[in-house]
Chains A and B, each alone.
Chain A
Amino acid sequence: MEPIERDLDSAEIRLSADPMLLNVGPSHPATHGTVRIVVELSGETIVRCDVQVGYLHRGFEKMCERGTWNQVFPYVDRCNYVSPMLNNVGLALACEKLLDIVVPNRCQYFRMALGELARISDHLTCTAAMAMELGAFTPYLWMMKAREMIWDIMEEETGARLTHSFGRIGGMAKPPTDGFKEHSRAVMAHVTKTIDEVERLLLTNRIFLDRLENVGVISAENAISLGWVGPCLRASGVPYDVRRAHPYMKYGEIEFDVPVGAKGDCFDRYMVRLEEIRQSARIVEQTLNRLEDSGPINVDDPRVVLPDKHDVYSTIEGTIQHFKLVMEGVKLPAGEAYGYTEGGNGEMGFYLVSDGSGTPYRVRIRPPSFYVTGGLEHIITGQMMADIVPCFGSLNMIGGECDR
């Protein structure tokens, strides 16, 4: 490298007054997930920006058109990979809407309990990562520890920590294990304790508050127009929660509150997620109380549910039924249906078009993250460069779901 020869005191350095283009990402420590943000800076203020997604595009919707309906479940697992159970349940509900069947009560409560556990792990990941990106490493480790406990439950129930592929059309792959209730209650106690500790640590921290409050503000009208859903929309003061507005499964009979924010800044989004963890813990407790210890988990419908293994090996009817369900797949009646549930980031929709065969004709996943990330440009324009980190973190953009 050449030596520094300049005499900085005597020579006037002219800095360019033109706006500077800066490239953030696609792989950047502040973007957990692959997203590229090209910003035009005037000083440190963002004048214009262009958010570019698609780095994790794997062509799910095309792949879904090549297998059977039940083979879609592993794909949706990999959409929102921090709360895959919610995607599994959402797809199962959409397929069941097309089939006009309702699963037994025991299965519904089991799905709700698992789904709320997944929601807690989703919110824990988001809040933990956001705190870590702003320099608070201790709460991150505490929350990751709590999340790991939830994933231990998932592993015990489904056999996989992360990509469960546990949903089935007309039920679940397995009934709950004997220790499910006991373990869930123990973990819920730990999670709520962790949240209290994290709150005590972070909400008295001046640096943390200064970086979140009044940063990335969005009004309710803009949030609705951008198609925002879930915690991000509720932080702007719109109490829209699919579980409350259009109750599915047994959410209509469960008591829980829908937390809303006042301003719609990063701090509100953070607090809404923390409060939703507590509400989810309430829901888990109520569903565990209603979950029966015995009873059918799958619908009694030979068109959609695999027969008992004993029947497969001992009767010709069972063998044929098993063969047809595996080789041809569950046949969903021709038509279209839009099934929507409250995923980790808001309304997770599945627009299914069936031609009556065992193979999906079109599976459109309505990704909450995609629309939320579409609003990133809106909230960071006019902010400082350093504000990208809390803004992006508070949106909880999940690459797999956004890019599919």
Chain B
Amino acid sequence: MAKALIDFVSSRFPGAVLDSHSQHGDDTVVVDPKVWLAVHQALRDDPVADMQMLVDLTAVDFPRHLPRFEVVTHLVSLRLGHRLRVKSRVGDTSGDNAVIDSLSALWASANWAERECFDTMGVTFAGHPDLRRILLYPEFEGHPLRKDYPAELTQPLVPYREVENIGKLPPFGPHEGMSFGRQTHHLTRVADTAKD
């Protein structure tokens, strides 16, 4: 049962499977990052695999390896009850150019998982609709789960944010909520009338 999935991937993508193993009963394939999206698409859509759910997406940092990062997904088929781990290696030793295709078009769960992976590991997902930090704040410098990020490092103090450039974050404009004094209402109404 289990080996069948590895065979499925290697027969569908000959030459793209770099490695495979079944350590501790977890079937794993390591694929070329070029076919990352295609492998997942095939695993999701082919009835032999039928991977309905992307359980988890994460990355592991191996600073002495090249490529440096291992992006790891865990897939499960609820109908057939089998699991597969797919890995791919990206990024050079300095941590740059760690780019891989986004899976958010295949599974909605990839959206937040990839944002977290980008946030903590600095792996960029090409084609992600909304790639911004999720657990950390926008001004955070660096990617804390990389091995070359010292655990003791103190982040610089963030200055007060400029209101105008923040977009949808509060405090909002004169028309929108959070108006604590009557003066604000008054000004709003005058401005509206003046427009007409």
Q: Is the CB of B54 within 8 A of A23?
A: no
Whether B85 contacts A338 by the Cβ 8 Å rule is yes
State how many residues of chain B have any CB contact under 8 Å with chain A.
51
Q: Judge if A353 is at the interface, Cβ distance under 8 Å.
A: yes
CB-CB contacts below 8 Å: A41-63 with B: 50, 52-54, 57, 59, 61-63
Tell whether, in the assembled complex, residue B53 and residue A227 are in contact, meaning their CB atoms are under 8 Å apart.
Answer: yes
Cα distance A33–B23 in the bound complex, in angstroms: 38
Q: Is the CB of B109 within 8 A of A336?
A: no
Asked whether any CB of chain B lies closer than 8 Å to the CB of A98, the reply is yes
Complex CA–CA separation, A226 to B106 (angstroms): 10
The 8 A CB mask of B114-151 against A (1 = contact, 0 = none) is: 00100010000000000001111100000011000101
**Highest count of chain A CB atoms <10 Å: which of B72, B176, B181:** B176
Give complex CA distance A268, B136 in Å: 33
What 1/0 flags go to A318-342 for Cβ under 8 Å of B? Answer: 0000000000000000011110100
Q: Which B residues lie within 8 Å of A370 (CB)?
A: 112, 116
Q: Which residues of A contact B72 (CB under 8 A)?
A: 351, 364
- Given A21-B177, A61-B145, A336-B23, check contact A224 B53 (CB 8 Å): yes
Task: Report whether A20 and B78 are in contact in the complex, using a CB–CB cutoff of 8 Å.
Answer: no
Instruction: Given A21-B168, A59-B144, check contact A349 B55 (CB 8 Å).
Output: yes
Whether B26 pairs with A353 at a CB distance below 8 angstroms is no
Q: Using a CB–CB distance below 8 Å, which chain B residues touch chain A?
A: 23-26, 28, 52-56, 58, 60-61, 72, 74, 78, 81, 83, 85, 107-109, 111-113, 116, 120, 133-137, 144-145, 149, 151, 168-170, 172, 175-178, 181-183, 188-189, 192-193
A122 close to B (CB within 8 Å)? no
Known A21-B170, A54-B134; contact A226-B109, beta-carbon cutoff 8 A: yes
A245–B134 alpha-carbon span in the complex (Å): 32
Partner pick for A338 among B26, B53, B78, B109, CB 8 A cutoff: B26
CB distance from B24 to the nearest CB of A (A): 5
Q: Which of A62, A63, A225 contacts B107 (CB 8 A)?
A: A225
A:83-116 near B, CB below 8 Å = 97-98, 100
Kindly identify which residue among B149, B175, B183 contacts A2, using a CB–CB cutoff of 8 Å: B183
For the complex, is A128 an interface residue (Cβ under 8 Å from B)? no
Q: Let me know if A403 is at the binding interface, CB within 8 A.
A: yes
Shortest distance from the beta carbon of A305 to any chain B beta carbon, whole Å = 20
Q: How far is the CB of A214 from chain B (nearest CB, A)?
A: 22
Q: Report the Cα distance A374→B116, complex, angstroms.
A: 11
Interface residues of A in 335-364 (CB under 8 A from B): 335-338, 340, 347, 349, 351, 353, 361-362, 364
The one of A18, A245, A347 in contact with B55, judged by C-beta atoms closer than 8 angstroms, is A347
Apart from A54-B137, A225-B108: 9 A-B pairs, beta carbons within 8 A: A98-B24, A222-B108, A224-B78, A225-B53, A225-B107, A337-B26, A361-B60, A371-B109, A371-B112
Residues in A whose Cβ lies below 8 Å from that of B81? 245-246
Binary per-residue interface labels of chain A (360-384) against chain B in the complex, 1 for a CB within 8 Å, 0 otherwise: 0110101000110011001000000
Total residues of chain A contacting the partner, CB 8 A: 56
In the bound complex, CA of A371 to CA of B83 (Å) = 18
Which residues in window 187-236 of A have CB below 8 A to B? 222, 224-227
Residue of A nearest to B174 (CB): A16
Residue pair A22, B112 in contact (C-beta under 8 Å) = no
Listed A/B pairs (16) with beta-carbon separation below 8 Å: A2-B182, A13-B189, A14-B189, A16-B176, A22-B177, A40-B168, A50-B168, A54-B135, A59-B151, A225-B109, A227-B108, A337-B23, A337-B26, A361-B60, A364-B72, A371-B109
Q: Does A240 contact B (CB under 8 A)?
A: yes
Q: A16-B175, A20-B177 are in contact. Are A378 and B56 (CB under 8 A)?
A: no
The contact of A349 among B56, B109, B111, B144, by CB within 8 Å, is B56
Q: Chain A, 139-178, contact with B by CB distance < 8 Å: what is the 0/1 string?
A: 0000000000000000000000000000000000000000
State the Cβ distance, B144 to closest chain A Cβ, in Å.
Answer: 6
Min CB distance A237 to B, Å, is: 12
Chain B residue contacts of A404, Cβ below 8 A:
135
- Given A222-B108, A226-B109, is A364 in contact with B192 using a C-beta cutoff of 8 Å? no
Measured in the bound complex, the distance between the Cα atoms of B78 and A245 in whole Å is 8
Q: How far is the CB of B158 from chain A (nearest CB, A)?
A: 14
Q: For A351, what are the chain B residues with a Cβ–Cβ distance below 8 Å? A: 56, 58, 72, 74
Judge whether A16 and B169 touch: CB under 8 Å.
Answer: no
> Does A66 touch B at the CB level, under 8 Å?
yes
Q: Is the CB of A53 within 8 A of B135?
A: yes
In the assembled complex, which residues on chain B have CB atoms less than 8 Å from the CB atom of A21? 168, 170, 172, 176-177
Q: How far does the alpha carbon of A277 sit from the alpha carbon of B116 in the complex, in Å?
A: 33
Asked if A403 meets B135 with Cβ closer than 8 Å, knowing A13-B189, A338-B74, the reply is yes
Q: How distant is the Cα of A38 from the Cα of B170 in the complex, in angstroms?
A: 9
Q: Does A76 contact B (CB under 8 A)?
A: no
Question: Can you list, as one digit per residue, whether each of A13-34 has a CB less than 8 Å from chain B (1) or not (0)?
Answer: 1101010111100000000000
Pairwise interchain contact A378-B23, C-beta atoms closer than 8 A? no
Q: Contacts of A50 on B, CB cut-off 8 Å? A: 168
CB contacts (< 8 Å) of A66 on chain B: these are 151
